[in-house]
Structure formats: C-alpha cells, structure tokens
Structure 1
Amino acid sequence: MPLSHENQIFLLKDILQNHQSDCCGSVSECEQVERLVKSLMVNTDVNENVRVILEEIYRYSQDGINSSDLDAHINSHQTDLNHWVDDIGRFY
C-alpha cells in the first residue's frame, strides 16, 4: 500500500529532523529524501508553498548524495534544516 502524501511529508520531516538533531546521516537517507521529494513534487495535493521548500530539499539531497563528507554537508545546512522543518510544520 503506497503512502499518502501526508505520510510522505511526515517521513520527510522526520528524516530532516534526524539530520538536524544528529548532525549526521547516510547516503541512503539522502536517496530516500530524493525519492520522497520527487513523489511529492508530482502530487497535485501538495500545498504550493511546500513545493518551493521541496525544490531546496531536493538540491540538499543531491548535494548530500554526491558529497565526499556527508556529515560536514549536513552540518553546513543546519539553518536550512531548521527552516525546512519549521516551514513544513506550518503547512502539515
């Protein structure tokens, strides 16, 4: 059974919160973020304001996948992670 877009949003938010609080993550988490964002971007039920955030998160996940130092990448995006988690929380 596929996840609803709300469940996908909550999963995405959970992964971002983990990156925010743990200051580390894995390439597989970045790949999962990428898949979630792609799925959400084509879903017409997703709030338009969240779509702008999703584009930024997509770039973050791509850069994380290709980073030679993923933990440093995550640390350098702590402010962004804060904003994304807060912004998504306002809409869902």
Structure 2
Amino acid sequence: MTLSVNNQLTLLHDILDEHHLDRSASIAEHQQLKRLVQAIMDNNHISDEQLLQYLQEIYHYGQQGENASSQTDHISSNKNNIVNWISAIQQTNLK
C-alpha cells in the first residue's frame, strides 16, 4: 500500500513529535526518517520552499542520528529545530 504525501507528512510529524516528547529514538527510527523524507521529496508534490528546506534538514538530522553516540544529546541539541519542523508540517495543507 502506498501512502499519500499527506499520510507521509503525518507519519513524519508523529515520529518527530515522539522524538521531541520522549527525548529518545533508535537508529532504525532515524533510518525511517531518512526514507520517509526521501519518499516525500521524490514525490514532487511539495511546492513550499520552506518545507522543502526543512525536509532537507530533517534528512540531515536522520543521518546524524544514525551515528550519534547519544540519542538524548542528539535530540536535545536539535530541540528547537524539531519544534520548527513539527510546526511547519502542521501548517502544510496539501490537496
């Protein structure tokens, strides 16, 4: 089953929200973030330049998270970014 871009953004939002609230994540979750962001960007349904920039940042966050020695520190150091990303995803209204 293929997820729509809205479904993918909702899933991305939920994963980031869990990172923000729990201050923890697994390497597999970071890998999933990367795959999800890549799928969204490959779909070419995003025209919002700010959201596209955030998606690139989230991908980079996922890459860093895969290799972080401390997930708690990695997430804490990206706390403000995560809040901004979540907010931008919430404001996205794709048809």
Q: TM-score range by the shorter chain?
A: over 0.9
Where do residues 73-88 of structure 1 align in structure 2 (5 Å cutoff)?
Answer: 73-88=74-89
Q: How many residues align?
A: 92
Q: Which residue of the partner structure matches residue 23 of structure 1?
A: 23
Counterpart of 1:17, as a letter, is D
Decide whether the 8 Å contact of 1:27 with 1:65 is kept in 2: yes
Question: Match for residue 36 of structure 2?
Answer: 36
Q: Give the whole-Å Cα distance in 2 for the aligned partners of 1:53 and 1:62.
A: 14
The residue type equivalent to 1:73 in the other structure is H
What SS does structure 2 have at the residue aligned with 1:68?
Answer: coil
C-alpha contact 1:8 1:36 (8 A) present in aligned 2: yes
* TM-score under structure 1 length normalisation: 0.94
How far apart, CA to CA, are the structure 2 residues paired with 1:11 and 1:47?
Answer: 19
Match of 2:91 in 1: 90
Structure 2 match to 1:51: 52
| SS of residue in 2 equivalent to 1:42 | helix
- 1:68 and 2:69 aligned: yes
Answer with 56-65 or 40-49: which moved more.
40-49
Gaps of 5+ in 2: none
Shift of 1:88: 1.2
Residue 8 of structure 1 corresponds to 8
Distance 1:45 1:57 in 2: 17
Percentage of pairs with the same residue: 37
Alpha-carbon distance in structure 2 between the residues aligned to 1:23 and 1:51: 25
TM-score (norm 2): 0.91
